[in-house]
Amino acid sequence: MKVLVTGAAGFIGSHAAEALNKEGYQVTGIDNFSEYYDVKLKKLNSECLQRHNVKVINADLRKTEDFKKLSTNFDFIVHFAAQPGISKSSSFDQYLQNNIIGTQNLIEFAHQNRKLKHFFNISTSSVYGLEATFPENTAPQPASYYGVTKLAAEQLVLAESRAKRLNSSSLRLYSVYGPRERPEKLYTKLISCAYRNEKFPLFSGSEKHLRSFTYVGDIIDGLLSAVKKHHELNGEIINLGTEAEYTTQEGIDYVEKLLGKKIELQTVPKRKGDQWHNRANITKAKKILEYTPKTTLKEGLQKQINWYKSNFL
């Protein structure tokens, strides 16, 4: 069966494309190789996928003409592509165009795929708001442009299910880390600062934030289960993450211990809309997907450190 993965050269998307390929799916990836962060990292991910016979097409979901580069015989669409995170460098229009307009264009493309079995939207715990410890039937209260536009994208996709035009579902991910993590994210940034003897910019008060830091491999396990059980998921929202929670400071301590290095911290102003507490409520995922994340934070961070050393030192 054929799968289209959007954002396939990105952090989680590249892992998803690689894992689906190993499961025997014929995977096509698309990515617009945006300059939100160093394009060299996306090219590194893309080259890795190409070694596994996964073709990554340079295409932009905001441009309807780019869809002409794709065939229309996909069985599944897995939609990772988005303007990510909370960043002062990203304008509202960038969130709007990438997360909402891009998603709507992809939905219109999905309708051209007559044998499409399921459209998986990849969402985020940020849709819940400043605290994300709730089951999926809780009313979202996003507090950032990112959260607001990801919620809108999710609802665009699920509206297709409610109207019986597409089978779709949305997976809400929690604080994903691991190899290929974006350079501005917590753990890649910490590891980089440690090896480069640079100060780590710590957002004021964030050392006390609680997170369900979830290893990327555990997220991919949940996705693979969702694809296999897609016939049970039409119209559903599923949280994917670990129930274990750590403060940001505990995460910093783990990295320092594993590296045997002290990282100098520099306090910077807090970010607007930054979650102070997320903990994945995965009761539904356990029941429907038989989902059980297994990787400890220590194990996952060691894998991320090994990846960083192999590629950047």
Distance in angstroms between the alpha carbons of the first and the last residue of the chain: 39
Beta bridge partners of 238: 171
DSSP 26: E
The long-range contacts involving 261-264, CB below 8 angstroms and separated by at least 24 positions, are 261/194, 261/195, 263/190, 263/193, 263/194, 263/200, 264/193, 264/198, 264/199, 264/200
Please count the residues of the chain: 313
Angstrom distance (rounded) from CA 204 to CA 189: 16
Are 213 and 251 a contacting pair, CB within 8 Å? Answer: yes
Active-site residue, from 25, 36, 95, 146 = 146
Asked if 177 is an active-site residue, the reply is: no
Compute the C-alpha angle 152/153/156, nearest 5°: 85
Q: Where are the beta strands (DSSP E) in the chain?
A: 2-6, 26-31, 55-58, 76-79, 118-124, 131-132, 168-173, 176-177, 200-203, 210-211, 214-215, 237-240, 246-247, 265-268, 277-278
DSSP symbol at 309: H
Residues labelled as active-site residues? 146
